Structure 1
Amino acid sequence: MTITTDKPKLTVPGPNPLPIFGRIIPLVGYIRDSIDLSRCLFKKYGSVVSLVAGGGTNLYSSEDYCPGTVLAYGSENVREVTSQHEVYHKYPLTGGLYRQRNDSPRTETLKHFGVGLFGVNSKTHRQHRQLLMPAFHRQRIESYCDDIVAITQSVLEQLPVGKAINLCEVMRTLTLRVATKTLFGADIGDEGGNSAKLLQKIGALLGSPAIAILPFDVPGLPFHRLLSLMAQLDDEMRTLIRQKQASQEDSKDVLSMLIQARDAESGLGLTEDELLGHVSVIFAAGHETSANALTWTLFLLSQHPQIAANLLDELENVLQGAPPTVEKLQQLSLLERVIKESLRILPPVPWNARVTSQPTSLGGYELPTGTEVFVSIYHTHHLPEIFPHPERFDPTRWESKEPTMYEYNPFSAGSRICIGAPFALMEIKIVLAMLLMQYRLQYISQQSLEREALIVMAPKYGMQMLINKQDRQFTKGVGGVRGNVCEMVELNN
């Protein structure tokens, strides 16, 4: 997080900065609760707003100069930003820390960690996406179905009936294991598990405000620990890549496919640094978002007993108690609608971030080169003119509703739409189907259910659920929900 003061300044309307700390306070407010802050700004200034009048803020851009931060929502603004590939660029997941990649030997890992498809643009992005496409081809994705079923059953067998769990942690463990298996393959065993844990620790640190405020490589500070973890991961992953290159075998995992991928015209493959970048992004973007999608969906079902009952009817009628297959998943139409509605009302990724590569305009306002733009997926999904009664969890709306990709975009839109979306949806369907047939998750009332919505949207303090064998007592645990999630969903409290 940095404060910039050079010109050109933003002319997009926004709140005037207060003396001395005037530009720091909105930045901290955005980090603390981006949904609430932006709601207030949109209500006062319209669908395109500056975080601070005159700009001078920097949350995401790794360019040397950032004129300021613009927030926007609405399908037209989504279309402008996501369809103009050459105007609105993406940057690495490390954000402003990427600037420090050349500072010292210890910061060199920032050159590739979290880069992947997020950190390349224009022709390079198109080339890299083409190289990655075979790993996410429909048949390849479907080949992972049995692995996801096996891992899910293994996790479900360990759930303690009659006891409470932190659902967030259980779903993260499950999706972590799926990501490790599909990304690295079964052949690496404990080594792969360690790499996955390192990636998870790094991801948690990247979301820490302390790193944004104190990005100094000094022992005792979070940034120092982040660089040490990155160095450790770097060594492990380079060893793994070289082992797979030497074996020249396709072990059916994503990393093996990426190692073998070659450009159709030049015949060139991905460099070791590029491979490291793609692996870190696929892992980070994959398991955390799926875990949050599962957590929010199970919460919504716990508070809507009739929908939960209807969904279980469908699961039992179609699956007859057996694990889902690719073919059977196609027959679960209510499950599909439930997931769509969950991703609409509580999107796991609430913002779509970009940086302007050239002067442009958005919503009638001029944006200088280098302006960072955050388009709100969440607020667009809650527009009543697109989705009537937007805070109502209503899967039946999808029986007739066919929004455009700019009106409904939980996986982004345009040429940068999430390459792993089909895999994520298959994983979410399998886990929900298997879990709901075996267990009823009962929400424990009076816990504080607060959102955390910076890079991903998750329950800030976790989510406690009581594990019951599936007994169809869906009305138990309904109500008593506290916290700002009540602003986002109509609940029977």
Structure 2
Amino acid sequence: MSQEYTLSLSKGRLPVTEGRISDFADDPIVCMRRLWARHGDVCALQEGNQRVYFVFGPEYNHQVLSDASRYHSRFFAAYGPRRSAQRRVTSGLLTMNGEEHRRHRRLVQGPLQKKAIVAYHDQVAEVSEDQFSQWQAGETRDIASGMTHYMLRLTCAILFGMDHPEMAYRVGELTERWVGLNHTVGAGAFTGSVEASEAYDQLLDSAAELEAAVKELLAVRRASGLGNDILSLLIRAHDDEGGISDEQLVGHVTVLFGAAHLTSAHTLAWTLFLLAQHPEVMQELSEEFDTVLGGRTPTPDDLDKFQVLDRVIKESMRVLPASAYVQRLAAVPLELGPFQLLPGSVVVFSQFMTHHMPELYDQPERFIPDRWKTISPSPYA
């Protein structure tokens, strides 16, 4: 990231740093930490006439998240040309707002409610046993890859009602490459100048390849008969009810597949990474497993008994969240700290930055699961 940032004095001493917006895309955590250290909880990064606004901390998280009529969801990906595969694979829930979002969310939320999730127990146990039965103590394993493959299989089995590991891995690999290229294009998602990026053509090709794989997934699911999984619900809404367009069906499946496996895989990998660095916590967790389970497979009734595990997961997601930031678009003219925002302005807020504020969490850089014995932060902290 560029070291040559300078405070812009031409903006009436507003908290604005002049620099390259692509630097944020290249290393968001470093960029946000420098902006926060320089300006505090509200600031902006400006390049030419393009500006990205940043807010940090629970107060502003609440402001942005609690008013969906003023702050619209914004998918991180570039939209792509009209009628392109890139436009279609980004047409899912994360690009919808208002009544359209509520209507489409209702279509998929049933299988994600607690009662439905409990019913997935046998599938989770079966996939887990098959996935990890060949792992041996003392082996060297790529945990990131292992957790990604594990979550790909679970996603395919639970959300899509299919157990096709090879197809799941293929779609997963294409999704990861597509996500990576969107981040490489980076600044285009903020400035609208994606055509200038060398990665743009690769992104469009990747989107076309991903779309073809998703359509193959849909064809296989149709051929095997529909069930009560999310994919079946979406296909019925498309085929029978006309409530979902062709574009939206592809977009929903792409977004759900990516969101379901990537964030969970990252959380599992980071948790195991932190446990490997803290053997005393690993030992405490192992003892809890032995006490609660005695070698048997866990059931949903066991969840409340895992107090150490609960603290470990909360602390892992605090220290190393699966996603560092989220963005919104100003839907109307609005006031944000000292700024007057125009519609379409990009606003970034960061769970990572909030989780590492020393005024909220003592020794925020340290992995201390036991802190959760005594703290109960707000949903926005």
Measured against aligned partners, the alpha-carbon deviations of 1:263-319 in whole angstroms (never above 9, x if no partner) come to xxxx76333322221111111112111111111111111122221111111111001
Contact 2:162 2:221 in 1 (8 A): no
Contact 2:26 2:184 in 1 (8 A): no
Task: Evaluate the alpha carbon distance shift between residue 192 and residue 243 of structure 1 in structure 2; reply closer, same or farther with a 3 A threshold.
Answer: farther
1:208 paired residue number: 184
The Cα shift of 1:261 comes to: 5.5
1:370 paired residue number: 344
Q: Which amino acid aligns with 1:84?
A: D
Contact 1:92 1:116 in 2 (8 A): no
Task: Evaluate the alpha carbon distance shift between residue 260 and residue 228 of structure 1 in structure 2; reply closer, same or farther with a 3 A threshold.
Answer: closer
Measured against aligned partners, the alpha-carbon deviations of 1:220-242 in whole angstroms (never above 9, x if no partner) come to 95235314313423542453465
In structure 1, which of residues 65, 68, 77 is the aligned counterpart of residue 60 of structure 2?
77
In 2: Cα distance, 1:218 partner to 1:393 partner: 39
The Cα shift of 1:218 comes to: 9.8
Question: Which piece of structure 1 moves more, 315-324 or 193-202?
Answer: 193-202
In 1: Cα distance, 2:320 partner to 2:167 partner: 35
Contact 2:153 2:168 in 1 (8 A): no
In 2: Cα distance, 1:173 partner to 1:188 partner: 12
Counterparts of residues 407-446 of structure 1 (less than 5 Å): 407=381
2:139 paired residue number: 163
2:5 paired residue number: none
Q: Which amino acid aligns with 1:101?
A: P
2:278 paired residue number: 304
Task: Evaluate the alpha carbon distance shift between residue 225 and residue 312 of structure 1 in structure 2; reply closer, same or farther with a 3 A threshold.
Answer: same
Task: Evaluate the alpha carbon distance shift between residue 224 and residue 255 of structure 1 in structure 2; reply closer, same or farther with a 3 A threshold.
Answer: closer
In 2: Cα distance, 1:268 partner to 1:387 partner: 49
1:87 paired residue number: 70
In 1: Cα distance, 2:164 partner to 2:140 partner: 33
Contact 1:205 1:211 in 2 (8 A): no
Structure 1: unaligned runs, 5 residues or longer: 1-8, 17-22, 58-67, 408-493
Contact 1:184 1:253 in 2 (8 A): yes
Q: Which amino acid aligns with 1:271?
A: S
2:120 paired residue number: 144
Task: Evaluate the alpha carbon distance shift between residue 292 and residue 400 of structure 1 in structure 2; reply closer, same or farther with a 3 A threshold.
Answer: same
Contact 1:70 1:374 in 2 (8 A): yes
In structure 2, which of residues 9, 12, 15 is the aligned counterpart of residue 13 of structure 1?
15
Question: Which piece of structure 1 moves more, 374-383 or 129-138?
Answer: 129-138
- Secondary structure (helix, strand or coil) at the match of 1:173 reads helix
In 2: Cα distance, 1:122 partner to 1:219 partner: 32
Contact 2:215 2:250 in 1 (8 A): no
User: Is 2:49 the partner of 1:56?
Assistant: yes
2:3 paired residue number: none
Task: Evaluate the alpha carbon distance shift between residue 379 and residue 216 of structure 1 in structure 2; reply closer, same or farther with a 3 A threshold.
Answer: closer
- Secondary structure (helix, strand or coil) at the match of 1:37 reads helix
1:30 paired residue number: 24
Task: Evaluate the alpha carbon distance shift between residue 180 and residue 207 of structure 1 in structure 2; reply closer, same or farther with a 3 A threshold.
Answer: farther
User: Is 2:127 the partner of 1:125?
Assistant: no
Q: What TM-score does the superposition give when structure 2 sets the normalisation length?
A: 0.86
Contact 2:91 2:247 in 1 (8 A): no
- Secondary structure (helix, strand or coil) at the match of 1:52 reads strand
- Secondary structure (helix, strand or coil) at the match of 2:309 reads helix
User: Is 2:150 the partner of 1:179?
Assistant: no
Structure holding more helix per residue: 2
Structure 2: unaligned runs, 5 residues or longer: 1-9
In structure 2, which of residues 81, 103, 117 is the aligned counterpart of residue 101 of structure 1?
81
Q: Which amino acid aligns with 1:155?
A: Q
The Cα shift of 1:166 comes to: 1.7
User: Is 2:373 the partner of 1:399?
Assistant: yes
The Cα shift of 1:198 comes to: 3.5
Q: Which amino acid aligns with 1:82?
A: L
How many residue pairs get aligned? The number is 365
In 2: Cα distance, 1:78 partner to 1:344 partner: 15
Contact 1:260 1:269 in 2 (8 A): no
Q: Which amino acid aligns with 1:228?
A: A
Counterparts of residues 133-282 of structure 1 (less than 5 Å): 133-186=109-162, 191=167, 194-209=170-185, 215=195, 221-240=201-220, 243=223, 247=225, 249-250=226-227, 252-260=228-236, 269-282=243-256
Task: Evaluate the alpha carbon distance shift between residue 160 and residue 226 of structure 1 in structure 2; reply closer, same or farther with a 3 A threshold.
Answer: same
Task: Evaluate the alpha carbon distance shift between residue 336 and residue 350 of structure 1 in structure 2; reply closer, same or farther with a 3 A threshold.
Answer: same
